[in-house]
Amino acid sequence: MKRLETKVALISGASSGIGAASAIRFAQEGAKIVICDIDEAKATSVVQEIQTAGGEAIFARLDVRDESQWISAFQVGVSKFGYVNVVMNSAGIAVPGNVETMSFDDWNKELSVNLNGSFFGVKHAFKNLKEKGGSIINLSSIEGIVGHPEYAAYCAGKGAIRNLTKSAALHAGRSGYRIRVNSIHPGYIMTPMVGNDPVELERLAKLHPIGFLGEAVDIANMALFLASDESRFATGAEFVVDGGFLAQ
């Protein structure tokens, strides 16, 4: 039996990067996938890749800032597959700016996607998972644990996701819901957000004691563990996958 054979996973930000890698990895292990994003063309490409490999996936448009679209995305998944029991909040942006110079508009732009989007994802995951249980996976960052001087809003949002995860996990447990809520904290990963400038990639790699940058599949494999029943005793926890960055 495959590790996620009984799972239906709804993944935000699933058209590229860690979201797409997680969708593909989950499908390889038997999960049915609801690919959610605002970029329909890229998301459809991920759907087709999964289907070509023999998996099951559908697309649901989702702007994570819009609560009504969260409701619709879950309706699409439940209508097609009967239920959703894994939710991964991986949509995110990184708007540069330090606390002294950052505009309030940029601050709000960042938090509306990363933090508000995760809040809506957790809120509506509870509505859909609390009857039968399941797993919620929130994508935070090493910069949800330590700071970066030039990404004030990004650090604030990712730090808030870290503790939103813990609050939601406690609420689930004390309410008797069989819902687990955990966060993943990647180091620098080779995704579109990090870019492809070779000089910058070399500089970033040197920040990690392991000596190289992670790939999206490295985070997808951790998400796979958290989506599976193998992690049944893990909730309210933060899982760091960072090549040793935070060990320094």
Q: Which residues are catalytic?
A: 154
CB atoms within 10 A of CB 127: 11
Residue with tokens 């995951």: 125
Distance CA 205, CA 77 (A): 38
Contact 47, 77 (CB under 8 A): no
Residue with tokens 């998400």: 223
Residue with tokens 């505009």: 103
Pairing of strands 8-12, 134-139: unpaired
**Distance set, CA 222 to CA 26, 72, 84, 157, 230 (Å):** 11, 28, 20, 21, 11
Tally of CA atoms within 13 A in the half-sphere of 32 that contains its CB:
15
